[in-house]
A and B are shown apart, each in its own frame.
Chain A
């Protein structure tokens, strides 16, 4: 993401000028990241795509209100995170194996080579471990370890104090370590 940050200002200027293709560029640039956050948070590809689409549509509507103090990516992450947390809050769900983890586990069960099998089992375990995290910890670890945001950016995206971000991140990592004992030395 960082290598793209320099382009944010130019892209934002085009968006504000009403440049039609600029919005397409925005979606193309951030589609996988926004979708990734939604997928790790919700565990369902269909739901994740729905949230990702809504994220871009809201951004499109709110472009006039975006002051440009934050980076475009941070702004999009903030919208997506809020949508995901709202979705999870409005429809509480008991912990279930995510679609993504089920796909990985099914692939692992049908894999031939031992290394591939182990790799796919690990992927499924990782997805299960992440999905088992409490939402407030899950979003922090997703933004930090999967999306690469630094502490300050996470605090800005989630609207949290920096120490809260540090604490939640550490607790999430300890939870994951406990879930992944089998794969650790």
Chain B
């Protein structure tokens, strides 16, 4: 058990950490609460700064964790309890019933074609639809369907048409107990829900959308096949305004922490929109200074000069909808002058908040002011949590982009493997890779 690692969360950080640790010969349990691995990156269209297709880059890595001989992948599963016994963590994992046998399901999708139920797909930020039996997105890993029992009518049509006899309404939740020497927490983030402070009327106006909703509209495999349109009437938006720093107040100091990624993802989205709608007029409204990262200086410059994207420093007062469903954005300029600007669509660049986890108390992990896991390293790394043997990687430790998450996951896997070796007797079988 001293050669076993547990990775919580199979987004970019969890996938990277699991592969790195498994490649060194350790057995890795990779636990993901959703039906598929991939995390937030699976929802993205293209990633900055190179505008790489997120799916092209990450699908092979997602498949790798499902095929790796040293990785035991547990999807649709949640860590419920962790107890320390000497050097070892005893972990209780709840495997939720899919009502479909993962080993029998071939992912053919005939079941979903016959399912009469149609509901909004959370994966598509509720713009797209899915059936009660579903895979959240086409490249899901594993390619196994899941029945959403909340909406299922138990009509049994899926069971009747399944050639592999994979549908199993008798499945029950299963508790799996594993022992691990080290844990890497990569539980990621959630986008901030703008309904929490509905100052921009997100919940009232269809054409006020979040960055992640726009991401689904831009995605070629998304609900509109990459065609960006207004949710009120299907019109192609020509005047698009981004509002930056739609983030939670820091609960302690009352200050808003910087989510670090929004300036860049808004810029990326603005560029993608410009490529899609060449005559679009795009304004990015910001009140706080743009994230100053030397990696991206050229990127902002290119957005301004080559794409003609406008950045306006202004304090936003309100967003109001006109009867045409166009939106009036009222701001106050730096000199105190009120300015009104009309847009067809408003995109809220929502920040990152921690993803809630059941096992925080059990592990006695310290959280920072924003609710992210606090790192207590003595060196420049930020991966050691307040509990020995527990490491953190990716946005679980604080808002960061994909490149930084991957780097941190590499470091966490390295530290975890060193820790496991120190625990001793780690009989490992390194994997040879071409």
Please indicate whether A and B come from the same complex rather than being unrelated chains.
no
Residues of A participating in the B interface, judged by any CB pair closer than 8 Å: none
Residues of B participating in the A interface, judged by any CB pair closer than 8 Å: none
